[in-house]
A and B are shown apart, each in its own frame.
Chain A
Amino acid sequence: MKKTGSQILLECLQQEGVDTVFGYPGGTVINIYHDIADYPIHHILTRHEQAAVHAADGYARTTGKVGVAIATSGPGATNTVTGIATAYMDSVPMVIITGQVPTPLIGNDAFQEVDIIGITRSITKHNYLVQDIKDLSRIVKQAFYIARTGRPGPVLIDLPKDIQVASAKFEYPEKVELRGYKPTYSGNARQMEKAARMILASRKPVLYVGGGATGADASEDLLAFAEMTQAPVTTTLMGMASFPQRHPQALGMLGMHGTYYANMAVTNSDLLIAVGARFDDRVTGKIASFAPHAKIIHIDIDPTSIKKNVRVDLPIVGDLKDVLNKLGVALGERPEELAAMVDGSAAWRTEIDDWKSSHPMGYQASDSIIKPQYVIEQLRELTADDAIITTEVGQHQMWTAQFFSFSQPRTFLTSGGLGTMGYGLPAAVGAQAAFPERQVIDISGDGSFQMNSQELATLVQYKLPVKIAILNNNYLGMVRQWQEMFFDRRYSETTMELPIDFVKLAEAYGATGLRATRPEEVGEVIRKALATPGPVLMEFKVDREENVMPMVPAGAAINEMVLAS
């Protein structure tokens, strides 16, 4: 039996096991929206296409499945761009479907036409313009395959309206044939043998773990490997939740706002094992002074990440699960050498413990004003271990990374690579849609929150009980901090002069609004929010000029931190 293009698309989504999609209708996707009601696919209408993409991203980051977003042509498509770039930078598997004007009109500057394939070429893993209905099911199959395999990433399908209307026989291809795309999963045996020897020879090893550990679902393998070698583990912002932060070997985050002991450990190490991390400039600081005494082993699924920013002594391309397991086996076969290595690095562990006790993470507590870090600590105390935390971008994001102590993978959703303000609330929509029973909390700042605050409507409409914690300092706090430290305290355009009544804003959408202005109210407000059904916005009036510390100034070496006064 023949089906229309829009039906074929929906059949394909079903074949891929898609149960939830996020989107926004419009002229060139109206056929898809007409047909979607006939399929067991839950559609969530966000209030902006950017939010639809972030929601699909949040869904993908929490579940590990491919997130799906739909938008119309022209402005609908351009609104997806920030969401797609966010997902691309953080390697999130997604398929974005955009409507396009009918094929005969392409290139004619038609109403709501934009060359979204051209626009998204550099921010997608791959993209497709469907030119013939006969190609549609093959393209959808390939798009999902490309999105979730290798180094995951977003794939965009641009689907002209006339192809949605045309009809063809539906057959879902069983296999994907892409002669130019064959990710390497299995680590090279000779390289791994060399790595094992380097590890056994080291006395000051450090594991440096990035978002790839989450992407590969390698948390357990990582923990086993770390415990076997007794090497301390520092994580990037993207890797935070892949290693339990209360584990004795955990050093917390490294880099610009990393812990003193993580940055000191990297700087003094003799072997740095990079696991699914890409040596971002926010991690390395001044490259020439990064891990100057260390040999570097770099394990990554994406060959382009290796030797892009730093010299690497031993590259291993492969799936982290596979590589960590095989390395573990190789080390396990040499119990005496391994014991010698673990014993031999006892002095190193003592050195790190000394750094930990001389410069612990902390802040100046107060009983008269709410410290933002205190709010994060209280949230950690009062929420479940498997609570999913999303953030926006700025000071609150760094404080969350520093003070939340994540313990389970896929519980920390944050825009690491692109640094997208306005990510957290729509990402929370996606996370809560994926896990209706779990606690989902968006930790936000007053600046970031206003970039996608319209999504309060989505929460209320779909009864998504997301809790929002706004750390309100009436500043664009991170930029203000830079202005304070490096620009003579000239707070140019970073003061949010108009004080927003966030409680009333929540109420205007039909959500609950709560406010804390004094430290003793913080715990009470959080408890009340968690006990209240439906979405709740908590506003915390925090110390306005609190800074994120430690801080490595831009261009400095990571051991040249400015510490809290």
Chain B
Amino acid sequence: MKHTISVLVENEFGVLTRVAGLFSGRGFNIESLSVAPTLDPSVSRMTIVTRGDDRILEQINKQLNKLIDTIKVTDFTGQDYVEREMALVKVAAEEETRAEVLRIVDIFRAKVVDVTPRSYTLEVTGVPTKLDAVIDLLKPMGIKELVRSGPIVIGRGQ
């Protein structure tokens, strides 16, 4: 089962490799990972999407907590949270498809962030399944390049 885990870590030298090394060394899987400092610059937040059964998730949680640099681990699975991911998509836009690309942009409230005579670069934000849907629709047009940020999450309410 898929789990989205949010990890607060000390913003220290080498902390990313500690976390990544823990996953690879113990055979846990990372589907995506995003990291950036929080409001407090001494703390970074990692959002990790992983898969595993209950036993594996319990170990992931405990092993992350065991790292000295880990301040807090939250598994959002089963909780009420907002999830967003961003994709930047460079899609071919020939004369006959330009209008269709823009229609898709409109429907999904995406943005065109760069234009050339033969391509559009789109910025799409939403839950990962929305991004999947946009990408599926754009595929027939010819996707030249795709960059996804990996999801980030935040708990709902106070």
Chain A positions near chain B (C-beta within 8 angstroms): 117-118, 121-122, 125-126, 129, 131, 146, 178-181, 302-304, 306-308
Minimal Cβ-Cβ distance residue in B for A142: B68
In the A-B complex, the 4 residue pairs with the closest CB atoms: A304-B62, A126-B68, A180-B71, A303-B62
Given contact pairs A304-B66, A307-B55, a sample of 9 additional A-B residue pairs in the complex whose CB atoms are under 8 Å apart: A117-B14, A121-B14, A179-B71, A180-B68, A180-B70, A181-B68, A303-B62, A304-B63, A306-B62
Tell me the nearest residue of chain B to A129, going by C-beta.
B13
* Selected contact of B59 from candidates A117, A126, A304, CB within 8 Å: A304
- Alpha-carbon distance A126/B25, docked complex (angstroms): 15
Pairwise interchain contact B62-A129, C-beta atoms closer than 8 A: no
CA distance A179 to B59 in the complex (A): 21
Contact B68 A121 (CB under 8 A): no
Interface residue tally for chain B (C-beta within 8 Å): 21
- Assess whether B17 is in contact with A118, with CB atoms less than 8 Å apart: yes
Q: Is the CB of A307 within 8 A of B58?
A: yes
Q: Mark B49-81, 1 if CB is under 8 A from A, else 0.
A: 000000100110011011111110000000000
Give chain B nearest CB distance to A317 CB in angstroms: 10
Q: Report whether B68 and A125 are in contact in the complex, using a CB–CB cutoff of 8 Å.
A: yes
Known A118-B17, A307-B55; contact A178-B68, beta-carbon cutoff 8 A: yes
For B67, give its contact among A118, A129, A179, A180 (CB under 8 Å): A180
With both beta carbons as reference points, the residue of chain B lying nearest to A311 in the complex is identified as B55
Map CB proximity to A onto B18-40 as digits: 1 under 8 Å, 0 otherwise. Answer: 10011001000000000000000
CB distance from B64 to the nearest CB of A (A): 10
Which among B13, B22, B67, B68 has the greatest number of chain A C-beta atoms within 10 A?
B68
Contact of A180 with B21 in the complex, beta carbons under 8 Å: no
Q: Which residues of B contact A178 (CB under 8 A)?
A: 68
Q: Which of A125, A126, A303 has the most CB of B within 10 A?
A: A303
Q: Does B10 contact A (CB under 8 A)?
A: yes
Does B152 touch A at the CB level, under 8 Å? no
Say whether B9 faces chain A, with CB atoms less than 8 Å apart. Answer: yes
Q: What is the chain A residue whose CB lies nearest that of B65? A: A303
- The smallest beta-carbon distance between B129 and chain A, in angstroms, is 33
B66 touches A122 (CB 8 A): no
In this complex, what residue of B is CB-closest to A123?
B25
B18, B58, B65: which contacts A121 (Cβ < 8 A)? B18
CB distance from B102 to the nearest CB of A (A): 47
Q: Which residue in chain B gives the minimum CB-CB distance to A151?
A: B66
Instruction: Name 9 A/B residue pairs within 8 A (Cβ), A-sorted.
Output: A122-B21, A129-B14, A180-B9, A180-B70, A180-B71, A303-B65, A303-B66, A304-B66, A307-B55
Are A121 and B66 CB-contacts (below 8 A) given A180-B10, A304-B59, A307-B55?
Answer: no
A121:B59 contact, CB within 8 angstroms: no
In whole angstroms, what is the CA distance A186 to B13 when docked? 32
Q: Which residue, of A129, A180, A303, has the highest number of chain B Cβ atoms within 10 A?
A: A180
Flag if B18 contacts A302 (CB, 8 Å): no
A54 CB to closest chain B CB (Å) equals 24
Residue of B nearest to A308 (CB): B59
Chain A residues whose CB sits within 8 angstroms of the CB of B66 once the complex forms? 302-304
Contacts of B13 in A (CB 8 A): 129, 131
Distance of A557 from chain B, by nearest CB (Å)? 21
- Specify which chain B residues have a CB less than 8 angstroms from the CB of A304 in the assembled complex: 59, 62-63, 66
What is the distance, in angstroms, from B53's C-beta to the closest C-beta of chain A? 12
State in angstroms the CA–CA spacing of A497 and B114 once bound together. Answer: 74
CB-nearest residue of chain B to A126? B68
A308 CA to B63 CA in the complex, in Å?
A: 11
- What is the bound-complex CA distance between A302 and B67, given in angstroms? 12
Q: Whole-angstrom distance from the CB of A185 to the nearest CB of chain B?
A: 16
What separation, in Å, do the CA atoms of A307 and B57 have in the docked complex? 11
Closest B residue to A117 by beta carbon equals B14
- Chain B residue contacts of A122, Cβ below 8 A: 21-22, 25
CA distance A180 to B43 in the complex (A): 11
Chain B residues in 8 Å Cβ range of A308:
59
- Chain B CB count within 10 A is highest, among A122, A146, A306, for A122
Minimum CB distance partner of B72 in chain A: A180
A59 to B146, CA, bound (A): 57
Per the bound structure, the CA–CA distance linking A306 and B59 in Å amounts to 9
Q: Nearest Cβ in chain B — how far from A141, in angstroms?
A: 14
Residue of B nearest to A317 (CB): B62
CA A304 to CA B55, docked complex, whole Å: 11
| Nearest-Cβ distance from residue A107 to partner chain B, whole angstroms | 13
CA distance A308 to B71 in the complex (A): 22
Q: Which residues of the partner chain B approach A302 to less than 8 Å between Cβ atoms? A: 66
Cα distance A303–B58 when bound, in Å? Answer: 10
A3 to chain B, nearest CB (A): 24
Give bound CA distance, A303 to B64, whole Å: 11
Q: B22's closest neighbor in chain A, by CB? A: A122
Query: CA–CA, A277 to B41, complex, Å?
Result: 40
Q: In angstroms, how far is the closest chain A Cβ from the Cβ of B117?
A: 43
Query: Contacts of A125 on B, CB cut-off 8 Å?
Result: 68
Inter-chain CA distance A525–B155, complex, in Å, is 73
Nearest residue, chain B, Cβ from A131: B13
Q: How far is the CA of A308 from the CA of B58 in the complex (A)?
A: 9
In the complex, chain A residues whose CB is within 8 Å of the CB of B68: 125-126, 146, 178, 180-181
Residues of chain A within 8 A (CB-CB) of B58 are: 307
Return the chain A residue nearest B18 by Cβ.
A121
B54 closest partner in A (C-beta): A307
CA distance A307 to B58 in the complex (A): 9
What are the residues of chain B within 8 A of A181 when measuring CB–CB? 68
Instruction: Give the distance in Å from the alpha carbon of A126 to the alpha carbon of B18 in the complex.
Output: 10
Residue of chain B at shortest CB distance from A304: B62
* Assembly CA distance A122 to B19 (angstroms): 11
Q: What distance in Å separates the Cβ of B139 from its nearest Cβ neighbour in chain A?
A: 40
**Those of B1-15 within 8 Å (CB) of chain A:** 9-10, 13-14
Q: Which listed residue (B14, B59, B62, B69) contacts A180, Cβ 8 A?
A: B69
Which chain A residue lies CB-closest to B70?
A: A180
Determine how close the nearest CB of chain A comes to the CB of B58; give it in whole angstroms.
Answer: 6
A157 to chain B, nearest CB (A): 13
Residues in chain B near residue A121, CB distance under 8 A: 14, 17-18, 21
